[in-house]
Amino acid sequence: MAWRRVSVVVPGGDAEALCEALEEAGAVSVELADADAGTAGESALFAEPGADPGVWPRCRLVALLPAAADAPKVLEAALPMAGCAPLEAPAFDQLDDADWVRETQRQFAPIRAGERLWIVPTWHKAPDPGAVNLVLDPGAAFGTGSHPTTRLVLRWLEREVHGGETVLDYGCGSGILAIAAMKLGAARAVGVDIDPLALEAARYNASANAVDLGVFGADDPLALEADLTVANILANPLRMLASLLASHTRPAGRIALSGILAAQANEVAAAYAPFFAMAPAVREGDWVCLTGTRRPGA
């Protein structure tokens, strides 16, 4: 079976509306990416936790349509529904099933996520067999290691996991952070998420990496005091979770917060300052990772 594909770049604030309009107009799938995130020869990086399309200056949407669809007419109908206009000329092409699989796989090559960490899709060989290799395929849950918000925390875990720690990954998505912690030497890791699909993906990925990961819904009772707590979500939820995450981090334990734009860093740090001694933010592009040490008695 052949498919029609359309690629269009619009302002980030219009992306979600256009995604919905394209689906209403007949698209069977739509992927959103930061149009300015890719490097030469690479595809744009698809959405991770913290990667809200609304904050991207330019968002690329790639829609897959049935072979019989008139792709230009579908886009022509969707744009006014979303109230937006392309920032550059749209592109149209046709893909066979096999081509679509190869194209999808090409977008997710192995990613070096730190000094020792690699994220390796199942269809690739590990570039460095002696490294700490996480086997992780793209799925329904966020978290493939391609976005700065994820890489920042992975690098922090490389520095902070020395062996034997208990780790809490709140908003775990695919489970990538908790799984990485286990493979780096943590004794126990727990992933928490509100999305049932994320919990399913985290369990699957933990099994694929042969690690024993505890997976819980956000409403499940959680009796845990972590040595290391990580949360790669969004700035607003992070502010609301400050007290909760502090309660699950032991005194003198460490925390890493990501999914935060540089302009949001001070507000998030202020929410955690009553509980943690906060360190200067570490930045990659427009994104930052905030870290801190739990204050005794706070």
Lowest mean pLDDT among 19-33, 129-143, 242-256: 129-143
Check whether residue 102 and residue 157 sit in a common domain.
Answer: no
Residues 6+ apart with CB under 8 A from 39: none
For residue 67, which phi and psi values (nearest 5 degrees)?
Answer: -60, -35
Give φ, ψ of 17 to 5 degrees: -65, -40
Q: What is the pLDDT of residues 84-130, one digit of tens each?
A: 999 999 999 887 665 555 555 555 677 788 888 888 887 778 888 88
- 189-206 mean pLDDT: 91
Per-residue confidence (pLDDT) for residue 195, from 0 to 100: 86
CATH number of 193's domain: 3.40.50.150
pLDDT of residue 290: 98
Residues 69 and 159 in one domain: no
**pLDDT over 50 at 283, yes or no:** yes
**Whole-prediction pTM value?**
0.69
Q: Do 87 and 184 share a structural domain?
A: no
CATH number at residue 51: 3.30.70.120
Q: Is the pLDDT of residue 170 over 70?
A: yes
Residue 132 lies in a domain: no
**53 and 172 together in one domain:** no
Average pLDDT score over the chain: 85
Please give the Cα distance from 70 to 95 (Å, whole number). Answer: 14
Residue 229 has pLDDT above 90, yes or no: yes
Which pLDDT does position 39 carry in this prediction? Answer: 33
- Is residue 110 within 8 Å of 121, Cβ to Cβ? yes
The number of folded domains in the chain is: 2
Q: How far is CA 201 from CA 176, 192, 195, 276, 279, in A?
A: 10, 12, 10, 31, 32
Domain boundary among 50, 85, 106: 106
Q: Which of 178-187, 193-202, 289-298 has the lowest mean pLDDT?
A: 193-202
Question: pLDDT tens, 130-168?
Answer: 889 988 865 544 555 567 888 899 999 999 999 999 999
Which pLDDT score, from 0 to 100, does residue 120 have? Answer: 86
65-69, 90-94, 116-120, 264-268, range with greatest mean pLDDT: 264-268
Residues 102 and 156 in one domain: no
Which tokens hold the place of 262?
A: 């540089």
Same domain, 194 and 100: no
More confident residue, 45 or 62: 62
Domain-terminating residue out of 106, 141, 166? 106
In a domain, 129, yes or no: no
The range of the structural domain enclosing residue 41 comes to 2-106
Q: What is the mean pLDDT of residues 4-26?
A: 88
User: Looking at the structure, do residues 172 and 284 belong to the same domain, yes or no?
Assistant: yes
